[in-house]
Amino acid sequence: MLLKESKIRILENFYALDYIFFGKPVKKMETCCAALVEDYLAVKGALSSVVIEMLKLIQHSPDKLAEKVDLKSMTKNAIESAKLCRENAKKIVSTEQARKNIKTDLKEQLKENKDQVDIPKLVEGLIREKAFRLAADNLLIARPISESKNYKELNEWSGKIIEDSYKILRDSLVESALAILASNEESK
């Protein structure tokens, strides 16, 4: 059973993901097809379900809330969390290790797509994708682990299953967000 504070955090994170990817709620994005937004929301819901299971497993126990939470304060917290996670991701992406990982990904992409590749655009896309993944991990994994009683459960069999599910859904969510952003840029 999750604590009330954990449930509020899940909902806050649900909103914060939009601010990480788009800087605003997804419903305010201009996109050519509603199916992209529908897919994004479905994956975001599935990812939230996996995060709920993870929070149960690690016995998430954030500080008690001293005041009543309403939509306005939750949105404000979501925006602040997203901003912090984006800043943290930006710092990590600029490290030497991240650059090596991006170079490796670039080489793999070039092997797969030898025909007329726009290298600067590909590099920009890989950096953006990595930054989005890192920001989502920072939001959905790092903070809850720091507030948990039993994070070592993630090293057990059930924890590894949850982690694998999380990674698959996180990557799918990032792909969906990138598709919405690309559609938004094309419609301008």
Q: Could you read off the pLDDT tens digit of each residue along the chain, which spans 188 residues? A: 788 899 999 999 999 999 999 999 998 887 778 899 999 999 999 999 999 999 999 999 888 877 788 889 999 999 999 999 999 999 999 899 988 988 888 888 888 777 767 788 888 888 999 999 999 999 999 989 988 888 888 889 999 999 999 999 999 999 999 999 988 877 66
| CA proximity to 60, closest of 124, 121, 148 | 148
Whole-angstrom distance, CA of residue 71 vs CA of residue 170: 25
Q: Read off the pTM.
A: 0.89
- Beta-carbon contacts of 82 under 8 Å, excluding residues fewer than 6 positions away, are 16, 17, 18, 19, 20, 135, 139
CA angle 16, 17, 19 (to 5 degrees): 65
How far does the chain reach from its first CA to its final CA, in angstroms? Answer: 46
